[in-house]
Amino acid sequence: MSDDLAETPVELGSARSSGPSLQSMLDSDTRPVPESLRDHSYQLQGTADVPKSRYTDRAFAELERTYLWRETWQMACMEVDLAKVGDHVVYDVAGESLIVVRSDADEIRAYHNACLHRGTKLRVDGGRVASFRCPFHGWKWSLDGELVELPAQWDFPHIKDHPDSHLPQAAVALWQGFVFVNMSDDPEPFETYAAKLIEHFDRDFDMTDRYRTLWVTKEVPANWKITMEAFAEGYHVIATHPQILEFTADENSEYSIWPESPNTTRFVNGFGAQSPHLEELSDQQVVDAYLQFATGARRGDVDASTVEVPEGATSRQVVADVFRQGLEQTYGADMSAKSDAEMLDAVLYHLFPAFAPWAGVGQSLVYRWRPGSTPDTSFMDVIRLAPLPADGTIPEPAAQEVLALDQSWKESKAMGGLADVFEQDMANLPRVQAGMYSTGKRGISFSVYMEARIRMHHRMIDAMIDRGLDAEGTSSVLLDPHRVSDG
């Protein structure tokens, strides 16, 4: 590189890692890649520090509760959890609670989960009921939300036929087997709210031909944003998962922000190619390392020590072929048209504020995050979906396992080897949360490109809080100490 070039100023936001870009990896794919993977854009989100108080301050958590969690679309459960009339799930988030119920053969509703008499939570667990009866004084509502029984009605002449005696509802949207809810009085339609996510998955990444093989909910010792942000970039691989560097294109991952559909963002980590952090490896070394690491369904019966990279082939092509065979053996599905990228790459979408499905073939994961009872804790859900068996049977969906704050992911039997990776990720979190209380430096310095989505989500939270405060005519002084500035 000449001195002149070295001194050319790089426009802020345009710098990228060394190593091939994801798009150039797609260029050398052996099959046509899904159109959605070619849909990439980025928007600079500034460089200002993000105040740590957003992760610790009760007043900020309260602002999120009022103006974020009550106003956004959130995944409450899956449609399989509501198979029969009366089946319901309790969705608790940020102090709110909804009963999400199949109220009729072709209707799913979400009721606010509080008795209209003195406020008692009507249901604490999911299950199947014919009606909702309050355990305190016995007021009872039908599945349609109509008040059908009121003991000693003579003393409540002001209640029975009052329109307010119906259980208040939240909005419900069904998409790709998931049930979404929104408590806003005037919710944006899910179709526009999640436009990019819907476009990509409906065209390229169908999830409806799968069934749930795992659902673990764990309380985590860190703020919900810290937990979520631990799954939002490939930057942490170098220090947190160094055992995968030989076959992970981590630093050169791709991050997408679509300004026209800002609730959807994406992170794609190329696999089957080495990390730019390492000295150059041969394709054979990459293949050997990856196949040693890959197990089960992905590798099938293939003996990792016997796979040779033919003249002119790349490590990505060779491993993708092995995975195609493995998936065909395991699921009996024809994978011949599936691209190398679909076989290999980690493609993680995010729907604001806290729903994240992986796209791809074979098994895939879905994440969800919610705040805990204090700013220092949160809940993370991990759902695993697997292709339906080739024989046409539909297995029972895995039931929810709940792990407490002091339990390890390894205590989930269904999680298997996945638990090790989660333990690696989660080991950082209490330390991150502790560091949020340090006054040595009051802000967090996210990167310009790799962590831009995280920064954008913070700014979107602020925009929601501002909108809510404005609508109420309340001063934004409540938000100001925690605000992410534009700089």
- Contact positions vs ligand FES (CB under 6 A): 115, 117-118, 120, 134, 136-139
Q: Which does 134 bind (CB under 5 to 8 A by kind): Fe ion, ligand FES, none?
A: ligand FES
Q: How far is the CB of 116 from ligand FES (least distance, A)?
A: 8
User: In whole angstroms, what is the distance from residue 397 CA to residue 414 CA?
Assistant: 12
DSSP string across 131-148: EEE-TTT--EEETTS-EE
Number of residues this chain uses to bind Fe ion (CB under 5 A): 1
Q: Residue 432 interacts with Fe ion (CB under 5 A)?
A: no
Q: Residue 242 interacts with Fe ion (CB under 5 A)?
A: no
Give kind and range of the element (H or E) at residue 254.
Answer: strand 248-257
Q: How far is the CB of 359 from Fe ion (least distance, A)?
A: 17
User: In the complex with Fe ion, which residue's Cβ is closer, 219 or 425?
Assistant: 425
User: In the complex with ligand FES, which residue's Cβ is closer, 115 or 179?
Assistant: 115
User: In whole angstroms, what is the distance from residue 432 CA to residue 436 CA?
Assistant: 7
- Among 347, 352, 406, 412, residue whose Cα is nearest residue 381: 412
Q: How far is the CB of 135 from ligand FES (least distance, A)?
A: 7
Q: Which does 136 bind (CB under 5 to 8 A by kind): ligand FES, Fe ion, none?
A: ligand FES
Q: How far is the CB of 150 from ligand FES (least distance, A)?
A: 8
Q: Which does 203 bind (CB under 5 to 8 A by kind): ligand FES, Fe ion, none?
A: none
Pseudo-torsion of CA 121, 124, 130, 132, nearest 10°?
A: 0
Distant-in-sequence, close-in-space partners of 344: CB < 8 Å, separation ≥ 6: 270, 271, 272, 316, 319, 320, 323
User: In the complex with ligand FES, which residue's Cβ is closer, 116 or 220?
Assistant: 116
Q: How far is the CB of 295 from Fe ion (least distance, A)?
A: 18
User: In the complex with ligand FES, which residue's Cβ is closer, 143 or 198?
Assistant: 143
User: In the complex with ligand FES, which residue's Cβ is closer, 53 or 142?
Assistant: 142
Residue 413 carries which DSSP code?
Answer: G
User: In the complex with ligand FES, which residue's Cβ is closer, 167 or 198?
Assistant: 167
Q: How far is the CB of 138 from ligand FES (least distance, A)?
A: 6
Give the range of 135-143, 250-258, 291-299, 422-430 binding Fe ion by CB under 5 A.
422-430
* Sign of the Cα pseudo-torsion (418, 423, 428, 432, in order): positive
Q: How far is the CB of 152 from ligand FES (least distance, A)?
A: 11
User: In the complex with ligand FES, which residue's Cβ is closer, 120 or 240?
Assistant: 120
Q: How far is the CB of 123 from ligand FES (least distance, A)?
A: 12
* Sign of the Cα pseudo-torsion (128, 130, 134, 137, in order): negative
Q: Residue 425 interacts with Fe ion (CB under 5 A)?
A: yes
Q: Which does 249 bind (CB under 5 to 8 A by kind): Fe ion, ligand FES, none?
A: none
**297-303 long-range CB contacts below 8 Å, 24 or more apart?**
297/326, 297/327, 297/330, 297/331, 297/362, 297/363, 298/322, 298/323, 298/326, 298/327, 298/362, 299/323, 299/326, 300/325, 300/326, 300/327, 300/328, 300/329, 300/330, 301/326, 301/329, 302/326
Q: Which does 425 bind (CB under 5 to 8 A by kind): Fe ion, ligand FES, none?
A: Fe ion
Give the range of 376-384, 425-433, 448-456, 468-476 binding Fe ion by CB under 5 A.
425-433
User: In whole angstroms, what is the distance from residue 176 CA to residue 84 CA?
Assistant: 18
Largest CA distance in the chain: 91
Distant-in-sequence, close-in-space partners of 86: CB < 8 Å, separation ≥ 6: 101, 102, 128, 129, 130, 143
User: In the complex with ligand FES, which residue's Cβ is closer, 31 or 140?
Assistant: 140
Binding site for Fe ion (CB under 5 A): 425
